C-alpha cells in the first residue's frame, strides 16, 4: 500500500467504449490506493463498456465528457488501450488538444497498448522513446519516435507499456512518475480544492 503518496493529485482517464478493461481498472485502482483522485472522461456522456481482448466486459459510468473537461484542472493523464478505443480517441480533436496541453506543461502521461495512437495524432511523439502493443510499432517509428520492446519505458514525463501482461511494472512506474510530479509541483493549487 502506497498510502498518501498521491494525495490531492487529479488524474484524467481519457477513454471511450471498447477499451481494454484491465488497462483502465488496474491502473485506476493503483492510483486511488496511492491517494489520487481519478476522473473517467469520454467523448460521450453516460456509460462506456470495456473489453477483455475481443469479448465485451463490464460497463462504467462516465464522470465527465471531453466537452466539460478542462486540462488545467488535472495533474496527469492515463490513456488505456484497446484497439477500437484508441482508434476512436486518436481522431477526436478535443482528446488531441487535451493531451497536448498536459504534455506541453510537462505534466505526466501514462500510456499503454494501442493508446500511443492518440499521442501520435496529437503530434507529440517525435524524438521520444516509448513502447506499445507490438502491432503499432511502425506507426510510432513513422511518427519519428524510438520504439522499444520492453515491459515499461520511462521517457521524461511519459511512462508506457505494451499490454495487460505489463500492468505490474506499468502501475509501479506510473505511481512513481506521478509522485515525482506531485513532489515538484507548486502547492498553491492544493488550497483551491478545499475551498
Query: What positions carry a catalytic annotation?
Result: 114
What cell numbers appear for 41 in the block?
A: 472522461
Q: Which residue intervals of 91-162 are DSSP H helices?
A: 93-104, 116-121, 137-142
- The closest of 104, 49, 99 to 78, measured between CA atoms, is 99
The most distant pair of C-alpha atoms in the chain lies apart, rounded to whole Å, by: 48
- How many Å apart are CA 43 and CA 14, to the nearest integer? 9
E-state strands within the chain: 10-14, 19-20, 37-42, 47-52, 55-61, 64-65, 76-79, 109-112, 129-130, 146-147, 153-155, 158-161
Helix (H, G, I), strand (E, B) or coil at 44: coil
Amino acid at each position: 500500500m502506497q498510502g498518501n503518496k498521491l494525495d490531492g493529485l487529479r488524474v484524467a482517464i481519457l477513454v471511450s467504449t471498447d477499451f481494454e478493461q484491465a488497462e483502465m481498472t488496474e491502473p485506476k485502482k493503483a492510483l486511488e490506493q496511492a491517494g489520487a483522485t481519478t476522473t473517467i472522461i469520454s467523448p460521450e456522456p453516460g456509460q462506456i463498456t470495456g473489453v477483455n481482448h475481443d469479448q465485451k466486459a463490464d460497463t462504467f459510468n462516465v464522470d465527465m465528457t471531453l466537452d466539460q473537461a478542462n486540462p488545467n484542472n488535472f495533474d496527469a493523464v492515463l490513456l488505456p488501450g484497446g484497439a477500437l478505443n484508441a482508434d476512436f480517441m486518436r481522431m477526436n480533436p478535443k482528446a488531441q488538444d487535451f493531451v497536448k496541453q498536459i504534455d506541453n506543461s510537462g505534466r505526466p502521461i501514462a500510456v499503454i497498448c494501442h493508446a500511443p495512437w492518440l499521442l501520435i495524432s496529437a503530434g507529440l511523439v517525435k524524438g521520444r522513446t516509448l513502447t506499445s502493443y507490438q502491432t503499432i510499432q511502425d506507426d510510432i517509428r513513422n511518427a519519428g519516435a524510438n520504439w522499444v520492446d520492453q515491459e515499461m519505458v520511462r521517457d521524461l514525463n511519459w511512462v508506457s507499456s505494451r499490454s495487460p501482461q505489463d500492468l505490474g511494472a506499468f502501475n509501479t512506474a506510473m505511481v512513481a512518475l506521478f509522485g515525482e510530479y506531485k513532489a515538484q509541483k507548486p502547492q498553491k493549487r492544493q488550497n483551491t480544492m478545499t475551498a
